[in-house]
Structure 1
Amino acid sequence: MAIPFNVVTFNTLLRGIFAENKVKDAVELFKKLVREKICEPDEVMYATVMNGLSKRGHTEKTLSLLRLMEQGNTKPNLINYNIIIDALCKDGNLDAAINLMNEMKQKDIPPNIVTYNSIIDGMCKLGEWEKCKTLFSEMVNLNIYPNVRTFNILTDGLCKEGKVEDAKEVMGYMIEKGIEPDIITYNAIMYGYCLSGQLDGARKLFDFMINKCIEPNIVSYNILINGYCKKKKLAKAMQLFCEISQKGPKPTTFIYNTILQGLFDVGRIGSAKNIYAEMLSARCIPDLYTHGTLLNGYFKYGLVEEAISLFNKLEKQGENTDIEFYNVVINGLCKNGKLDKARALFEKLSSMGLLPNVRTYTTMLTGFCLQGLVDEAKDMLRKMEGSNCFPDNVTYNVMVQGFLRCSRISEMTTFTKEMTGRGFSFDASTTELLVNIIMENPFVLDMIPELHLKNKK
């Protein structure tokens, strides 16, 4: 039986192409349909293309498509406008989103709760709470009532700004209006408690949720475990970690990473190794952060051979070919006095197609300066600039400290002029080092009369 090639068929085809992230192919097909008049696009087809483009960050193209639509036979409807308003809000382009909403109203297309939710979300993310309150009141006055998503946007935004008590008030108002909080609401407020260090409040809410027969999801566990680990309450974090496995949901890579970091923070290296082994046996795939945490932990506690062994194994497997992964290893080698190995690895980067970034260069400069090899550090700095990778405030402070430690005050003074000329200044550790040197050798001050200290806080 022949498949009818009508607007429904092409809509389905376009959705499928976008689902495979073949944006260019989807756009070409849409253009062909319009150009060759194979099929007259309807509102749904426009919405499909707009949605596909906006979700991949092509907001300008989506807006152009709306303008094209306005000139044709098929006029934009509420769904088309909502897609673009949401995209603009996610881009932080709130003024353009509000202008588009006003444009809708002028065309007798009244906004709905989806429109308002998008703009409220954009306002929350920008911390524009007064505007948010005004819009919320406007919405209610138009008999458009907030739904659970509206309240979740508000609680999440407030909690991320540390306004957990305000978020609780919003949840209270929500319940008062007959809208039951869902798992997303509870997770947002738990996150707010953890962010402000109120772990007891987060735990009480977690238990309250269970008593209300709302089953915590993996995000709930993520939030609470992360909170405990940051406060070094590893026993409670491990208790929750074990609870996950017993209740069914598999721990995520994020949870394993959090536990690993927590264990290394308190020096429980053996337990960290066991957790990593368990992660592999559970077939939970480690990511860049997992391996970075392990390598950082090994280097931190002087387990250089184990770190190098893991690094070699990962490199052979072709995993983590990312400059940040190599930055971790170079940093670990430098801090453990293995400058030659760090330098050899640094020199190998270009042959692997990896470009050192400012952190890579600064790490190498730190290694040289700590060994008193200031001339090598100067050469590396010039090489850095020659590669169009420009030093930042950290880089300059590393160099200044290197000059100070080697009593090369004249060079330090010249270098400081360059540093301040580029808008950089001494940080707290550089200032402290300089003050200590001046206290021991007051004559140093006579050598740098033009120097103005600025202690960045």
Structure 2
Amino acid sequence: MWRSPAFRANLRRRVVVSNLLHPTVHSQVSCHETLISTLRPDASLFRFSNSWVSKKSEFYQRNTFFSSSAFESCQDSPSESPIAEADEAAEDFDFSSTSTFDENDMFASSEYESGDSIFEEGADSVGVDEGIAETFVGAMAMQDEGIEVVKENDPDRVESLLSLLQSRGTVTGSVVSHFEEMDLILNEEFVLKVLGTPCVPAENLISFARWALQKLDFKVTTRVVGSLVSTICQENSKRDAYTLWDFVNEIGEKKGLVSTESLNELIGQFSRLGKGKAAFDVFNKFEDFGCLLNAESYYFTIEVLCKRSFYDWAFLACEKMLEADKLPAIERVGKIISYLCKGDRAKEAHLVYLYAKDKKIYPPRSSIDFLICSLSRNKRTGKGTEQELDKELDKETVSLALEMLNDYPGVDRKSAIKPFSSVLKKLCWIQDVGRAKRLLLEMIDAGPPPGNSSFNYVINGLTKAGEMDEALKITEMMKTRGLKPDVYTYSVIMSGYARDGAMEEACKIYDEAKKKHSKLAPVTYHTLIRGFCRLEQFDKAVDILGEMKQYGVQPSHDEYNKLIKSICLKSLDWEAAEKLQDQMGENGLILNGRTRALISAVKELTEGDLEVSSPV
């Protein structure tokens, strides 16, 4: 019965608990790892004298003892005390005899067959609290003159390392010097576990990774760099992101250490932080680091550059993306098109659309609508108040938008009224009335069904071009489709007649508008007043001004001011001007000083002429 407690005592002195075991090629060490990953002994036993271990290294070379079958055949016994077992082992067990642990004798014993095994509950339930350092103890298998030796990190040193890493601003001297003093055994699994330790400042993690990089017995791998990048990118800290990028830049020239995924994470981090220039710097380093750009690399870069209004750089990234044939998913292609359109880069967005179309990739409907409307915007040149319409560019872009309308399938075309109307409006704006009229007829035949605004765009374009008969035909077509011409429709037609001096036809349209609508717009009266003033029929103009109140429209200061000026300058009728000034006062309006001075000047001039012409 002495074999079981003695064995347990010995086991607690030698077993090392570690999640970070160095991978070995020998079966002896792999068996050792199997047992280590299962048991968690007392941390205090790690500091047991190593003298016995050096003498009994062959203890770990018994494959049968550490086999999984032996583990499965044993059962735990909760009755024995771990401390009592340790004392019993110290007094009764003869450590000088290695034959005691003969594998055949041990496993043939009835003690283990009856359930009294080395894996009793006492072996797992140590009497001292386990330390966090126990999960970080690394083991490394080495060959020393043909004898396999397992080297392990001291748990106290590992615990000191974790405390040092988790400290912030409390370490005296260089952190690296403290790393050197610990004399740690580095391997990939150990370093990965350290990098995944919570509550460690980013600068400490980077310092540890930089120190590990300089160790001759440890080779930094892509996994280590990737783990470092992933850990630091979880925090939204600008300082940490830039520090990490400096470190990646430092090791990036060593081919293979930095992966595409790590660089993509950095771009995404800078995107979340709103640092477009830094993200573009990372994007430009892919080739230098020996990494291949993928669809995510292009998309994340374009996204952050557009968000920060670096549209020129964003289009450079787009060009590289198209050349490399690395289009992202359909939804992201649509977002790229929308981003460029928001930055007034509709032509560049159209190139992305055409390339996607050639690849049988059709962006979402909303992105296509937005692109067509952007191509139909008026383009201006210059800055501030000196901006002028760029008609040549307008003609080019609206032609692109007109071609895109043909790409709508039948179902989507029926509801695409907004993009069709925007193209129709742009064609009328650039005075391409012929194509606008043809597009309107296509909409009537194939959809989407045009509304009042679509008809009004074409009617307005025709009246500006002087084609009044065609404008009236479109108005009649509008009525046949069950649409009611609105005040804007009548005002546009009246304006066309007034420009040509055909005030009789304009008044006929005005009478029809009064029948159809109980309240007209100020622009309707303004059109008639201006037309009569051009013909110097000021009496009719004054009558129209008087009718405004009858139809619920209050004359504005502008209406009175322009009419008074016209009367004074063209007919010199200061009396009519003064009457209008009095009406303004009754309506709560005050005539500006310059126009009042004009009335006084005309009055003085007229009275002076009368005095000169009268006989002496």
Determine which structure has the larger helix proportion and give its number.
1
Shorter-chain TM range is 0.3 to 0.5
Question: Could you tell me the TM-score, scaled by structure 2's length?
Answer: 0.37
Question: Could you tell me the TM-score, scaled by structure 1's length?
Answer: 0.48
Which one scores higher on RCO, CA 8 angstroms, separation ≥ 6? 2
Which of these two proteins has the greater Rg computed from alpha carbons?
2
